[in-house]
Structure 1
Amino acid sequence: MTQTMTETRPRSRAAGWALAALGVVTLAVVAFTTPWRALPASAPSVVPDPARDFTPGQIARAGAFDAAVSAPAYLSLGLTLVAAGVLVGTPLGARLAGRLRGPWWLRVLLGVLVLSVAVAVLRWPLGMWSETQLRAYGLSTQDWLSWSTDRIKNLGIGTALTAIMVLALVALARRYRRWWIPAAVGAFTLTVVASFAYPVLIEPVFNDFTPMAAGQLRDDLLTMAARDGVPVEDVLVADASRRTTALNAYVSGFGATRRIVVYDTLLRAPADEVELVVAHELGHAKAGDVLYGTLVGGLGAACGACLLYLLTSWEPLRRRTGVASVADPKAVGLLVGLLSLATFLSGPAQNVVSRQIEARADAHALDLTRDPAVFVSMQRRLSVTNISDLTPDVFEYVLYGSHPTAPERIAMARSWALLNGMREP
């Protein structure tokens, strides 16, 4: 025992130094690539005010909808965290994995599958509760069959990715003492590959895409992209209406595969508002937000591999969970629990960066279209149609706020207008 602990300490120190170095690099990349100010410091300050742009009825409806969907969402999150806590803080995961039979790799895959399905089954009624609320407020157009199909697809993709990560960790731990080194490299590589593969492999699983019909709108969108210096291969329409009434658009792919994707529901909005939504998405493409996000995500994943090594080398945690080594298939529960907790804990930091990036894309859309009045009307339409929360509480904003609120985005548009000598819309 003493000899093993003596051998482990130098490896842990090396992993700790690597974690510190990767952490510094990650923070530096985030600090220098995140647009902490979307508008110049000289831009006039405009205070966000929901009452200025939305009626009392619209504000009340947004609050009621948020309350209706928050209950199942928070319960689902709580259940996920409890399950992760049990796997990380008790030997239950090791005991369940110990009952599985077969080669080590099969036991790992079965362990991930069993745990993922078990949590999904527990969360299923909460998902049905949330879906019922979406239907009550007119946001969902799905029947229970299509809803269940989408949920099973999500479960399948999520379970497959988790299985790949856990299987790789156990395999590396069985082969290398300093398995955190190839694990960090592999985590970075997997993040990059997944980012590039997502538009080609994952998006078509949930939506069908058809080229936008030839016409003025398509021509205007392609012309705007060319004027913005963003090469675009095509403009596609996603059949989102079979799932939702929400409005959205995005730019997908890289280089020669980049395309503008517009929800078919958005085509019901005025053309100038559609152009503004697309101008925002072009801002992401022009700034290389996906590439920078992939880089940060890859560095974060590499940090996670080092941290995972340090945590699983911590003797009190191994005693508490009954896991002697990550090389043991019984470590599946511990690894799944730690990955789940890491996803939750990293969320607020990701949201802070995301809100700044979204604000820069808004500023880009204003610079490109130079029409703050349409920007404001577009934000109103998106908020009312999507029933966006106009006044989120601090906890919800930190936990889920990946975008600025609609009042914040409208206030920025007014600040932009004043900065550029235009009348405040």
Structure 2
Amino acid sequence: MTHTIAYRAAILDSLGDPAELGLENSYRYFEDGMMVVENGRISALGHAPEIMKGLKSGTKIHHYEDALITPGFIDTHIHYPQTGMIASYGDQLLDWLENYTFPAEQKFADPAHAEQVSEIFLNELMRNGTTTALVFGTVHPQSVDAFFSSAEKRNLRMIAGKVLMDRNAPATLTDTPESGYRDSKALIERWHGKGRLHYAVTPRFAPTSSPEQLATAGQLLREYDGLYMHTHLSENRNEIEWVKALFPEQNGYLDVYDHHNLLGQRSVFAHGVHLCDEECHRLAETDSAIAFCPTSNLFLGSGLFNLPQAEQHKIKVGLGTDVGAGTSFSMLQTINEAYKVMQLQGKKLHPFKSFYLATLGGARALQLEQQVGTLEPGSEADFVVLDYNATPLMSYRMQQAKSLEERLFVLMTLGDDRAVKATFAMGETVYNRD
């Protein structure tokens, strides 16, 4: 039996990167729009009066006034085990890992703890309008089992993986090249491609994996089709120096991963704050992607990501909240901080570019643009309803807004989880504020 629902509101999605298409050609907008969802997929999109002519009689219509429908947000880098340590005071990257991250992650040896945090984490994503994420687990296979079980129940398109870490970490958090390979293989065979789930081979970062372990990560990528590779790159200057000391035979941080065959079109590198042009060229050449994580880069004092440099090299870029170093699950707050990162470099981040990065840009970084990231008919109905009157201040400010781009800018500057009225995955409500 066909299950059809129509949604009426202002509707916006991205058609491509404004850096390539120009602002005017980069988006599609319907002031009085309608989107029709049939059996979990979008079947029609356009101006409400036109779409309504073709609606089957009896089709239920949800009308959202003073609201904007956009594709669900896509978070290209986040750590679910760090949910309970968000907002931890006072350290930069390497000390922060030692003092906060590793103690928090040790608790995930307990499957019940992993299950509890998975539920809290996914509730937060849904409350913030994020429908797809690329997610770090811990070194424990049970952390990934718990996460995928929770995501599968909600029918979410999620990507995750077990951390590979065989050195420079507490003994309770290390595996070996052999056990990491074996555990990853079992998880891949259990979860990869099941429903809307995908597996990511996940070495934490170069300093915590031996060359032998990085080689086994490359081996997994060769053995299975469609796997992701998810790690960190050039986040902090001390980290970069440490990598040089650990891998003196390699020509820089990116080359460590390149040497072990970890670059490619499903490889996502978090941060990339301190990249040279040669590294940017190599990322683009291999169709690898960067997750731009502004809230965590500011919070840990790591530096300012150079988005214009990435654009110049035509590198795929998505946005990452990077919770728990990131300070919010909200993609609206993340683009608020991204705007400031650009301002500090004397550059602008236009609202259309911001929403591109949070939706289609993330989908492209994850090679998922055929499935999610737009509202194109045929794609999966993952979308979010944003409330223009979420707070008294936002409501008052919106009364002064004279254009779509101004309304978007208010949303991304003043908006947070309160602005999310409802979140849908495959056409089903996964969060309803009211």
Of Structure 1 and Structure 2, the greater strand share is in 2
Normalised by the length of structure 1, the TM-score is 0.27
Q: Which has the larger radius of gyration?
A: 1
TM-score, normalised relative to structure 2: 0.27
Bigger relative contact order, structure 1 or 2, given CA contacts below 8 A and separation 6+? 1
